[in-house]
A = this chain, B = another copy of it.
Amino acid sequence: MSLHLENIKEEFKPIFYPDSIAVVGASNNERKIGTLFLKNLLRSGFPGKLYPVNRGGGNILGLKAYPNIRDIPDPVEYVIVSIPRAFVLDLLDDCAVKGVKIVHFFTAGFSESGEKEGARIEEEMVRKARRGGFRIIGPNSAGIYSPAVNIPFAPDGVLGEAGSTAFISQSGSLGVRIILSGIACGLHFSKGVSFGNGSDIDSLDFLEYFAQDPETELIGFYVEGLKKGRRFFRLVKEISNEMPIVVWKGGVTEAGAEAAFSHTAALAGSVPIWRAVLKQAGAVGVESLEEFVDTLLAFQHLPFLGGRGVTIVNGLVIGGGGESVTAADTFINFGFEVVPFSDEVKRNLDVLLGQVGTILRNPLDLNAAYGNVELIYRVLKTVSTDPKVHLIIIQENIDILLANGIKEVGSFFLRLVQNLSKPVVVVLEQGSAEAERLAAVKELSKAKIAVFPNLERAAKAIANVNYYFENKGSGLHLLSHRS
């Protein structure tokens, strides 16, 4: 990929892998944002050096505090700032003297406030950064997320396992929600950022970096509006040839767009324009937090399916007639084909299951299997031989499994998905035993199996994956744009 920042990997290293972090504005007041940032870095086990900076000096959370960043005896790479606006320009002069590399401003009240003075100071900040040889994240930014080196996200300090999905969120609080939902469903992030006002480093710089990051294989982008539409289009198009970009556009309705303008001063653009741009650029557009997270999860675990034929297997314990009916509806509504089984597969299923209480068609209601894991496995092996089947969906409800003696739900499904020749997705429906469900999701996620809480979310997410691969590099998205 020929992207225009040659040295972006080197330049962004101190953002996601800093040797040392100073927190300006940390204090012994537990409710201060700076204190929260510092506390979370300590708690999460950030392996580098940490320096509280507070005019009063003294001791903060067991660490020696320095009255000024210049007083820190060792080099400082990354600075987190949460102090009133009035002090930020002086701080940047100190940062220049100290030779820091990155300054992240949580502090708000700049261009996004709509006030002239705020916008003026923001411009001056960027000038100081250019002159001082460092870069700025924000202002008005929740900051970065780097689980590989235990840097949690935002003052809330959310931290999950490290993985291969990067996210960029124009909203800090949605960033928190993206990580929380991700943790719950087994989605693991390589890196993340909420770029705030993007005065210096903006969303597209992060996009460009993530595309080159060896830890990242997939990018999720929550955007309210962009200052540089052309660069966005060119970048997304280029990156989409290499890895999927899932874009959730906030502010697609008039009221949403108004809220977006107040939120980050972003011009939202019209819905039809956005849709056309995303489609032509080869990005995958989504419309809710759930679809965003689900789609990333599906990309994380599924390969290119090579077709739209699915088989749905349910009633693993005690009857799934209605589930078969509605499962077929759901997947077909999202563009899949619930293909008829080949005669050979039907013959083999008949041997395995007999016809009593079981309907030997796709969706396959196992009715008579009563949780017999070896029998179900042989059934899955059989349907996976059908050349028209590109994906197997196994569906059951957590409460029904538990009530029928299947207590090790994760192991149960792991046994079922072993060495199948087709990709598998598990729909483990929610009931009342959510803790057990989440434990099973975690276990399956480690084995690279995507688990969804219901059929609709599964179908929507997998359809998005299919859409991407069907259009990738084939020029098909250009055709469909013209149509």
Chain A residues in the interface with B (C-beta under 8 A): 31, 108-109, 142, 155-158, 169-177, 180-181, 183-184, 222, 224, 248, 250-256, 258-260, 262-264, 287-290, 315, 318-326, 328-330, 332-333, 338, 356-357, 359, 361-363, 365, 370, 397, 399-400, 403-404, 429-432, 434-435, 438, 454-456
Contact = CB atoms under 8 A, between A and B. Distances in A.
5 closest A-B pairs by beta carbon, nearest first, are A171-B322, A174-B322, A434-B434, A253-B332, A256-B329
A264 B362 CA distance: 16
A290 B184 contact: no
A244 B303 CA distance: 45
Contact of A324 (B170, B177, B263): B263
Contact of A253 (B180, B263, B329): B329
Given A288-B326, A397-B180, A333 B173 contact: no
Given A174-B326, A325-B263, A361 B434 contact: no
Contact of A363 (B180, B254, B259): B259
A374 to B, nearest CB: 17
A322 B329 CA distance: 33
Given A156-B403, A262-B359, A325 B288 contact: no
B400 A322 contact: no
B359 A288 contact: no
A322 B262 contact: no
A432 B180 CA distance: 7
Contacts of A403: 156-157
B431 A250 contact: no
B288 A454 contact: yes
26 contacts: A156-B403, A157-B403, A171-B321, A171-B322, A171-B323, A173-B315, A173-B323, A173-B400, A180-B399, A180-B432, A250-B325, A250-B326, A251-B328, A255-B329, A255-B362, A255-B363, A258-B328, A258-B361, A259-B359, A259-B363, A263-B324, A287-B329, A288-B330, A288-B454, A289-B454, A290-B456
Contacts of A363: 255, 259
B169 A263 contact: no
Contact of A255 (B169, B181, B338): B338
Given A262-B359, A289-B326, A432-B438, A318 B155 contact: yes
Contacts of A158: 399
A432 B319 CA distance: 30
Contacts of A254: 332
Contacts of A397: 176-177, 180
A26 to B, nearest CB: 17
A171 B321 CA distance: 6
A430 to B, nearest CB: 7
A321 B260 CA distance: 8
Given A255-B332, A256-B325, 9 more contacts: A158-B399, A171-B323, A173-B319, A177-B429, A184-B432, A224-B322, A259-B321, A259-B325, A287-B333
Nearest to A332: B253
A264 B288 CA distance: 36
B250 A329 contact: yes
Contacts of A258: 328, 361
Nearest to A170: B322
A180 B31 CA distance: 41
Contacts of A251: 325, 328-329
Contact of A454 (B184, B290, B332): B290
A155 B250 CA distance: 47
A333 B156 CA distance: 31
A323 to B, nearest CB: 6
A203 to B, nearest CB: 13
A431 B180 contact: yes
Given A250-B325, A329-B252, A333-B253, A259 B431 contact: no
A169 B318 contact: no
